[in-house]
Amino acid sequence: MSKMLGRGAAIAAFVFVQTGFVQAAELKVYSTIGVQAALEELAPKFEQANGHKITITWGTAAILVKRIQAGESADVMILTRQGLDTLVKEAKATAGSDAIFASSGMAMVVKKGAPKPDISTAEAFKQTLLNAKSIAYSNPEFGGASGVYFAKLLERLGIAAEMKAKTKHPPASGNAAHLVVSGEAELAVQQEPEVISVTGVDLVGSLPGDLNNITVYAAGPVSGTKEGGAAQALITFLRSPEAAAVFRARGLVPAAAPKAS
């Protein structure tokens, strides 16, 4: 009798281990570089807590959307809200009530140790740009949200022509702050979480008042993914207190936690 019980326990343990193995998933994630520093820190925490493995492809939201539209496949999209909405409308992704997980504004950086210019008001910000020998921001032709916005902002300030000759752009999905570190640009403007993640720069501050542009980030499973459960686990994790703490430290504002029912 004891032998039968022992054998039964062994079989049960084997089934449990096998079930756990089957439930573990390898998630293919496409993520915007706007949350790269935070997600690189959070990925191993999620993997350890849930047993799933994450492989992340980075890019601007616009580039990643085009790749999915062109037929590439993934399990989870972590994009700007506009980018995810585009894929949802095309039935290439889905978005639940918990899709939005964080937001961020834009900021300026200078090389570490360099004097910080005044950007406390719209007029001071404009004069700082005019006084700069060179500036860097994302190339709007690549569709990145910050680059598209900043190019329009220069037009709004009436200085687009003056800034053209002294503007530098990083490569597609690149970080403008690297051009400051290398000495190619005096100032860089991009999403705050992106520029403050670069070693060798100092944060000047956020763009002043209504000159700033807030980007909202959202996540959703790709339509037809076979890893729906694991995908939802990742999306839920992005709304967790643990994730919120990392987002704050990385210059993002976490979405409000859902109210308990």
What local confidence, expressed as pLDDT, does residue 132 receive? 97
Q: Given its phi and psi angles, is residue 8 left (phi above 0), alpha (psi -120 to 50 degrees) or beta?
A: alpha
Taking only the tens place, the pLDDT of each residue in 187-199 is: 999 999 999 999 9
24 pLDDT above the threshold of 90 = no
What local confidence, expressed as pLDDT, does residue 145 receive? 85
What local confidence, expressed as pLDDT, does residue 258 receive? 53
Main-chain dihedrals φ then ψ at residue 209, nearest 5 degrees: 50, -135
Q: Mean pLDDT throughout 207-221?
A: 96
What local confidence, expressed as pLDDT, does residue 75 receive? 98
Q: Mean pLDDT throughout 163-187?
A: 96
At 4, the pLDDT band (50, 70, 90 cuts) reads very low
CA separation for the pair 256, 205 (Å, rounded): 24
What local confidence, expressed as pLDDT, does residue 22 receive? 42
**Ranges 2-16, 86-100, 103-117, 125-139: which has the least confidence:** 2-16
What local confidence, expressed as pLDDT, does residue 16 receive? 40
What local confidence, expressed as pLDDT, does residue 257 receive? 60
110 pLDDT above the threshold of 70 = yes
Taking only the tens place, the pLDDT of each residue in 224-243 is: 999 999 999 999 999 999 99
DSSP codes, 113-130: TSPPPP-SSHHHHHHHHH
Taking only the tens place, the pLDDT of each residue in 244-257 is: 999 999 999 999 76
164 Cα distance to chain centroid: 28
Residue 28 CB-half CA count within 13 A: 9
Question: Is domain 106-211 given the CATH code 3.40.50.2000 in the classification?
Answer: no
Residue 46 has a CB neighbour count (10 Å cut-off) of 23
CATH architecture of 25-103+215-254: 3-Layer(aba) Sandwich (3.40)
At 172, the pLDDT band (50, 70, 90 cuts) reads confident
At 159, the pLDDT band (50, 70, 90 cuts) reads very high
Same fold, 25-103+215-254 and 106-211: yes
- DSSP 8-state symbol, 93: B
Taking only the tens place, the pLDDT of each residue in 119-156 is: 999 999 999 999 999 999 999 998 788 999 999 999 99
Taking only the tens place, the pLDDT of each residue in 26-42 is: 999 999 999 999 999 99
**What are the residue ranges spanned by the domains of the chain?**
25-103+215-254, 106-211
Q: Are 109 and 196 in contact (CB under 8 A)?
A: yes
Q: Mean pLDDT throughout 99-109?
A: 97
What local confidence, expressed as pLDDT, does residue 81 receive? 96
What local confidence, expressed as pLDDT, does residue 220 receive? 98
Q: Mean pLDDT throughout 106-114?
A: 98
